[in-house]
Amino acid sequence: MTKRQRRTHSPEFKARVALEALKGIKPIHEIASSNEIHPVQVSQWKKELQEKIADVFERKNASDQGAKEDEKRIEQLERKVGQLVIERDWLAKKSEELGID
């Protein structure tokens, strides 16, 4: 008895099958048999498409704005780190001059 390798399907294939199932023109079992996959797999892809379809219309500027805010915060933190390093070095130098451990 030989072990059958798991098949992998391209995202385009999954999208096409899920969209066909979502349209509802043919029953799921017909779609599955014509594409040689299990009907449960078609149902899972259809459900995933329904859950994530709103992401297609999400504003692209929203993610850009979040990235800009992140960059701004990173710049602030880098400035603060630089300032603290300078202060630490200055304190270390002064404590050495004064003989303080």
pLDDT tens across 12-63, in order?
Answer: 999 999 999 999 999 999 999 999 999 999 999 999 999 998 888 877 666 6
Cα gap 62→84, rounded to integer Å: 33
- Rounded-to-integer distance, Cα 59 and Cα 66, Å: 12
Which sign, positive or negative, has the C-alpha torsion 80, 85, 86, 92? positive
Degrees to nearest 5, angle at CA 88 with 83 and 89: 100
Distances (CA, A) of 14 to 51, 65, 71, 84: 14, 32, 36, 53
* pLDDT classification of 79: cutoffs 50, 70, 90: very high
User: What pLDDT does residue 63 have?
Assistant: 67
Q: What is the pLDDT of residue 18?
A: 95
